[in-house]
Structures are given as structure tokens and as C-alpha cells.
Structure 1
Amino acid sequence: MSSTVLRPAPPGAAPPPRATRATTPARLLPWVLLAPSLAVLVVVTGYPLVRMLWLSVHEYERAQLLGVPAPFVGLDNYAATLTDERFWAVTARSFVFMLVCVVATITAGTLVALLLMRLGRVMRLVLSVALLLAWAMPPLAAMLVWGWIFDTRYGVVNHLLTSVTGESWMGHSWLISPLSFFAVAALVIVWGAIPFVAFTLYAGFTQVPREVLEAAQLDGADGRQRFLDVQVPYVRTIYVVLIVLSMIWDLKVFTQIFVLQGIGGVTSETSTLGVYIYEMGMAQGHYGAASAIAVIFTVLMLAISAYYVRATVKEEQL
């Protein structure tokens, strides 16, 4: 039996090779590959943001489009916005509308996701195709269809109500009243958002181990308890993401509100933040004030997103 004896290296011998760090070209390679995407991101996102900040501190009106220099006004546009009663009315209206849409979207999306899990293969395919068609339809095209459905004289809704109730609903306007206007707008927005929420939750629910659900059922848990105590905790992170995204999307909604206003809504009583910014800038020509409102709106979006980012970081650290 032989053994190996470790002897010290003789004097003057070269030290053993060490693991060297990556060379400079190797370290720069990821940045070189990312450079085109970063350049596009800076141009597409960075420049409009910087331009918006610049406009917000200048009194930029229609005259500046003809080459007249825009005077610097500092924070005057922000002060005027924050002291404007209509801005706060529009903001409150937008948040209330957002909360209603988010609750309705998450609730309906959850029910549809659970329905997808219960259906057979054929009916699940049919429902999935219907959801995809609703999701793929462009918002403007969808609004044209919904505008015809709620049309005052020839709308399907008024015709059905007339047939069911026996009273004449023909000529009834669903958009003249702010309450019914936002009811129609919420219906359209929730209809378009349900497919994304339903498919995302369905993918999450299918990852819940069947053994856990069966064990809960053997322990006497009914369907509601299995859903709240087993399935929801497994997809809690997905719910957080969906709620935050829905809040952002519903706060910055523009197309649906703008088109409904063109069909018959009262602009002064139905504008949300996205439409209000458009009115101040494109309609009235107050680009500096509109930019200040847009900056405040961006800060609100970042504040909402901060919770999601913080929750995501905590999940990764666990």
C-alpha cells in the first residue's frame, strides 16, 4: 500500500495557477449585447419623459408651435394643477372608477378561471377561443360595437329591454348620465380585461398540487374553504401582480372613455385622468399644464408600482 507524501515546493518554483477573473472583453460582452435594446429604450422612453419634464416647467402654449420661445415658469404649472378643483374632481373620479373596475375584473376573472378548471376539454376549448377573441379585438373596434349595442335609437340593449319589460326603452340614452356612462364604460373595460386575468389565474390554479386539494377535502373542507385556504395562498403572488397591473391599466384608460364621450357622454362630468390630460394639451393647447398633470400622474403610477416591486423583492429573498 503506497501513500503520497506532500512536500513543500522548492525555493524559486512558480506558484500554482490561480483562478483568474474574467477578462475585460468578457465582462463587457453582456453590455455590448444589451446596447441596442438599451439605446431603443432610452430613445422611446427616456426622451419623451425628459421632454415632458421640460414642458412641465415652461409655459408652453399653442404660440410656441410657431417658434415663439416658451418662458420658464418653474413649479407654477404644478401649483396651478394642485390648486385646481377640477383636477382633484377628475382624480377622485378616476380612482373610484379604477377601484370598481379592478374589483369587478378580478372577481369575474377568478370565476372564469375556476369555470375553465371545471369544464371538459371541448367546452374549455370553446370558452378559451371566445376569451381570446375578446382579448384580441382592438379597443377602438370594440368600442364601435359597444356603441352600437347601447345606441339610443337602434341599440340592442334598448330593444331587449323593450321586449322584456313591455315598456318602450327606445330613445333612452345610456351615456347622458354620468352614472350610467361609467357603468357602460366599466362593462366594456372589464369585458376586455377578463381574458388576461382568467388565463393567468387558470395557469396558476393548475399548478396547485392535486394531493393537497384531496387532503383538504378528506379533512372536511368544502369548496369555498379549499379555494380560500389552499388555492388562493398558492397564487397569492399572481393576484398581487394582476391587481397592480389592473390598477395601472384602469387608471390610464383613455380610448374607451374618449370614444364614449364622442358618442354621447358629457365631457365635463365624465373625464378621467387620461382624457383630462388630452383635453388640456391637444384640445386647449396648454401643453405645459398638461405635462405637469402627466408628471403627477406618473408619480401616482410609480407609487402604485412600488408596492408590487417591494412585494416581489421580499418573495425573492424568502
Structure 2
Amino acid sequence: MSETATAVPASGARRENAPRPPVSREKLRARRDARGAWGLLTPALIILGIMVGYPSVLMVIQSFTDYTVKNKVQGTLPNFIGFDNYIALFSESDFPAVLMRSLGLMVVLTALIITFGVLIAILMTRLSRAWRIVVSVGLLLAWAMPPLTATVVWGWIFDTQYGVVNWALNTITGTENWTNHSWLLNPWSFYFVLTIIVVWQGIPFVAFTTFAGLGQVPGEVLEAAALDGSTGWKRFWQVVFPYIRSILTVVLVLQIIWNLRIFTQVYALQSRGGLVSETNVLGTYLFRQGVGEFGSTAAIGVFMVILLLALSWGYVRTTLKEEEL
């Protein structure tokens, strides 16, 4: 009995003192890389938290209050009013009309920019080196020009009294019908001018990005498709497009976001004579919304963030699926 009793603790002690299996070098390297990655990311995460996270949380909180400039001056706390700001936004204001106008404009701008940008990128692959440099310089000049400067230049081109467009139309038609014609008073012609400005500055980004993607398509694949008798459209859709699909997806999402939050061009054209009430988009509507009405403007900002996240969710989901594979 005593020998058996003393044997059991001895074997248990041997199990506890048994050496653990050594950790592989791969696991040690992975842990070290993870610590290094988090160490590098920590400063950026702190900056993002301060510059993006805190204002975003504050905006969401303010959207549920009646916070105004009066509270800020007097140092008093606003009242919690729940979803009243959101309800008033869709029932007691012209925000729904502005939203539909912005969405329609975004669709038109995105379609034109993507279409012409891809076509120019394909054209650049067929041009000689000299002509490709000329086209690239022209695109860079349009892309490098600040939006406000571009709007001022195009505003003078379409100017009522001194605009080149009115002079050219009078010369072509042989009449004086276009003398003192205002392109900004009518909402449709206002958006026509706006579309020209935004598309003109948006095409270079799409063209350069797509051109870089087209350089990754193997030449032998295109030659094989041409020998099989594929037409230009079939060759692009069935051979080229699968190679640049991910690039075009990113470009599409970025254009949707950028075109939905345009501000400078619209505001500058409105300052030159456009009717504000009939040409407002989300950005200018938010800017002109009641001075000091922080609660209602915060509700507009929250809705815009949710809308942009919803529009880009398809790309985010696709990216996550690709990372899991």
C-alpha cells in the first residue's frame, strides 16, 4: 500500500516536469512579425482614432439632439430628441429632392467618366510613343488643375457676355440668338456645364489606372483571341476585362464616392449665377443648411456616411471574399 501510494505522486511529478514541445521557427517568426506589424500600425490607428473616430462618434451623438449655436455659446447641454432630426429631414425639408438629384447626377458622371476613361486608356495602347506622351501630358494638366480653378476657367468659357461658347454658337448659326445667353440660370444647362467640368477632371484618373491595368494583360492571350477571329468588343469583354475587373471595381467605387460628394464645382458655379434652390447637391445642401443647426446637419452627415457605405459594400464584401480564398 505504501509503495503504491508513493509511486503515484512520483509519476505525476514527472508528467508536470516533462519538457514542452519546442515552438517551431515559423510560429516564432509569425509572432514576431505580428508584434512588429501592430507596432507600426499603432501610431496610425491612434491618429485615425483622434481625427476620424472621435468626430464620427460625436456627429452620431449630436444627430440625436437639438444642439445649436445657442448651446455652444451658453455652454449648455442640448436635449435628446431621438430621431426627430431624421424625421424632419425627410418630411419637413427639400432633402429628398436634393438626394434624388445627387444620385442621378452621380450615375451620369460615373458612367461618363468610366466610359471615356477606359476608351482613352485603350486608345493609348494603340498610339505611338510620341502621341502617348502628348495625351498623357494633356491628361495630367487636366488632372493637376485644382477644381476651383477649373470651374473658374470653364465659367468664363460659358460666360454670358464674354464666353467663347456663345460666340462660337453665334458664328456657326449665323445669328445673334446666343448673345447674352446664360448657361447657369437654367438647372439643366447648369448641370450640363457641371458635367463637362467634373468629367473633364475625372477622366485622367480612370485613364491612367486602366492603362496601367491593361499593361498586365499577356500579349499572347490577345494574339490568340485575334487569331480565333474575336472582334474588338468580344476580345475586350471576354479576354481583357477579366484581367482588369478588380481595377475597374476599385475605380468604380471611388468614382461613386467622389461624384456623390462633389462640392467645390457646384458651389463655384452657384456663385456665378446658378439658382441655389434648384441646383443644390448633398455637399452644398449640407453646407447651406441652417447656420448653427448642428443637430440637423449632423443627421445629414450621418445619412451621407451610411449611404456611401451602402454603395461601397459590394466592393468591400468582394474584397473580403478574395482574402479568404
C-alpha displacement of 1:142: 1.1
What residue in structure 1 maps to residue 260 of structure 2?
251
Superposition map of 1:163-312 within 5 A: 163-168=171-176, 169-281=178-290, 284-312=291-319
Distance 2:256 2:96 in 1: 18
Query: So what's the TM-score if we normalise by structure 2?
Result: 0.88
C-alpha displacement of 1:32: 2.6
C-alpha displacement of 1:271: 0.4
C-alpha displacement of 1:41: 0.9
Distance 1:135 1:44 in 2: 28
Change (3 A) 1:317 1:72: closer
Change (3 A) 1:28 1:239: closer
What residue in structure 2 maps to residue 19 of structure 1?
23
Give the counterpart letter for 1:207 in structure 2.
Q
CA shift digits 1:106-148 (9 cap, x unpaired): 1110111011111110110111111111111111111111111
Distance 2:225 2:92 in 1: 55
On the 8 A contact 1:280/1:287 being kept in 2, the answer is: no
Q: How many pairs does the alignment contain?
A: 306
Distance 2:92 2:101 in 1: 15
The SS at the match of 1:152 is: coil
Change (3 A) 1:54 1:173: same
Give the counterpart letter for 2:196 in structure 1.
L
The SS at the match of 2:96 is: helix
Change (3 A) 1:177 1:57: same
Change (3 A) 1:128 1:254: same
Give the counterpart letter for 1:154 in structure 2.
Y
The SS at the match of 2:94 is: helix
Distance 2:134 2:33 in 1: 51
On the 8 A contact 1:154/1:170 being kept in 2, the answer is: no
C-alpha displacement of 1:48: 1.6
Distance 1:34 1:238 in 2: 26
Give the counterpart letter for 2:81 in structure 1.
V
Change (3 A) 1:256 1:75: same
> Where do 5+ consecutive residues of structure 1 fail to align?
1-10
Give the aligned CA root-mean-square deviation in angstroms: 2.2
Give the counterpart letter for 1:288 in structure 2.
G
C-alpha displacement of 1:215: 0.8
1:63 aligned to 2:70? yes
What residue in structure 2 maps to residue 105 of structure 1?
113
Query: So what's the TM-score if we normalise by structure 1?
Result: 0.90
Change (3 A) 1:90 1:123: same
State the structure with more CA Rg: 2
Give the counterpart letter for 2:186 in structure 1.
S
CA shift digits 1:244-263 (9 cap, x unpaired): 11111111111111111111
Give the counterpart letter for 1:312 in structure 2.
T
Superposition map of 1:69-84 within 5 A: 69=76, 70-84=78-92
1:114 aligned to 2:118? no
1:33 aligned to 2:37? no
1:153 aligned to 2:157? no
The SS at the match of 2:226 is: helix
In structure 2, which of residues 59, 70, 73 is the aligned counterpart of residue 52 of structure 1? 59
On the 8 A contact 1:94/1:251 being kept in 2, the answer is: yes
Distance 1:202 1:314 in 2: 26
Distance 2:129 2:21 in 1: 62
C-alpha displacement of 1:274: 0.9
What residue in structure 2 maps to residue 88 of structure 1?
96
What residue in structure 1 maps to residue 49 of structure 2?
42
Higher alpha-carbon deviation: 228-237 or 210-219: 228-237
Give the counterpart letter for 1:37 in structure 2.
A
Name the % identity: 48
Give the counterpart letter for 1:18 in structure 2.
P
On the 8 A contact 1:143/1:256 being kept in 2, the answer is: yes
Distance 2:159 2:183 in 1: 8
